[in-house]
Amino acid sequence: MVRALTQDSSGWDALEVRDVPDPVPREGQVLVQVHAAGVNPYDWHYAAGQPLIARPTLGGLTGPRPPVRGADLSGIVAAVGPGVTAFAPGDEVFGFGASGTFAELALAAVDRISRRPAELTHVEAAAVPMAAVTALQFLRAAGLTAGQRLAITGAGGGIGHFAVQIATAWGAQVTGVCSTRNAAMVRELGASDVVDYTREDFTAGGRRFDVVFTNAGRYPVRELGRVVVPGGVVLTNDGSKEGLLGPMPDLVAAPLVARFRPYRVVNVSATESGEDLAVLAGMVADGALLPIVSATYPLDHAVDAIRQVAGSGHARGKLVVKLV
C-alpha cells in the first residue's frame, strides 16, 4: 500500500490522504517512486469539479478519474511494464503521470516522460511538465519568431514565467505583465520590459505587440486587441472562471469576434508530450530555462497547495508537493 491524496467525489471535502494499493505498470508504462509532484490549476479543476459543465469529462457521477490527484512528477523508475525498453529501474525521470502523482508511487506512459535534467533537483524538475509544455505549445502555435514583440500577462505565474524564458531564448522582445512582487523576478528571467498591472493598464497605453499571451483572464480579448498589431495574434489561456460554464463562453466567443478584427485569436489544447519535455530539458542544460519554485508542501498538506492555485488564485512561479 502507498499513501496518496485521493478523491471519491467532487468537492474539497472529498480530498483525503489515505493508503491505496500499489499501482501496477501495464504495457508501455513505468512505475515511478515519486520524489516530487508539481501543482497546477488542473488539479483544482478536478478537486472542485469546476467548471460544472466539465464534470462528465472529469469522471462524472462516479467521481473524478483517476481518483488520485496530481499530474506532474519527478522521481525514480521502480519497475517497468511489458515491452518497455526506453527506461529501466533506477532511471531518474520527470513528466506526466497516468494515475495521479500526489502519491508515493505513480504510473507514467513512456512517451510522456523524459530523463530528469541533471541540472535540476527533483523538486525543480517536478515544476516543469504541465506549465512549461503548455507555454511551449502556445508560443509555437503563435509562430513566434526572433525580433517579434510579445506581451505575457500573468508573467510571474506558473505558465507565465516559463513563457518569458522560452520566448527570450527564441529571441523575442518580451514585456512581462505581473504584480509588484514579481516584477524583479520577471525581469531577471529575461523580460526586456515589465508592466506592473497594479499601477498601469498596459492595454490603455501606446505599446503595440505582435503577440499577446494572456493567462488567468485579467484582460478581455477586446481590450487585448487594442495593443495587437494588424495580423498579430492573441493567445488565450484562462481556466480561472468557475460556475456552470466557466471560461467556455469566452473561449467560444473570442475567435468569432476576432473574425471581424485584424488579428487572430488562438487557444491551444496542450498535450502531454515526452518530446517536448526533452526540448525543455535541452533548454535547461543550455541555461535558458529555470523553474522558480516558491514553496513546497508535504503530502499531508497538498490540499493547501491546490487551494493556492484555485480559481483566480496566484502563485509566484510554481508550487510543488514533496514526497521524498
pLDDT value of position 81: 98
Q: What is the pTM of this model?
A: 0.92
Residue 64: C-alpha distances to residues 3, 10, 29, 58, 69 (Å): 18, 7, 21, 5, 9
Statement to judge: residues 170 and 228 lie in one domain: yes
What's the whole-number average pLDDT of the chain? 90
Residue 223 lies in a domain: yes
More confident site: 47 or 100: 100
Statement to judge: residues 117 and 136 lie in one domain: no
Confidence of residue 262 (pLDDT cuts 50, 70, 90): confident
The domain of 36 spans 2-128+291-322
> Residue 50: pLDDT above 90?
no
Q: φ and ψ at 31, to 5 degrees?
A: -100, 125
Statement to judge: residues 31 and 146 lie in one domain: no
Interval 111-132 mean pLDDT: 98
Between helix 158-169 and helix 129-141 the angle, nearest 10°, is 50
Domain endpoint, select from 225, 251, 266: 266
Q: What is the CATH number of the domain that holds 304?
A: 3.90.180.10
Residue 150 DSSP code: E
d(CA 309, CA 295) in angstroms, rounded, equals 12
The per-residue b/e assignment along 86-111, b for 16 or more CB within 10 angstroms, e otherwise, is bbeeebbbbbbbbbbbbbbbbbbbbe
Residue 306 lies in a domain: yes
Residue 119 DSSP code: T
* Amino acid residing at 253: A
Q: What is the CATH number of the domain that holds 216?
A: 3.40.50.720
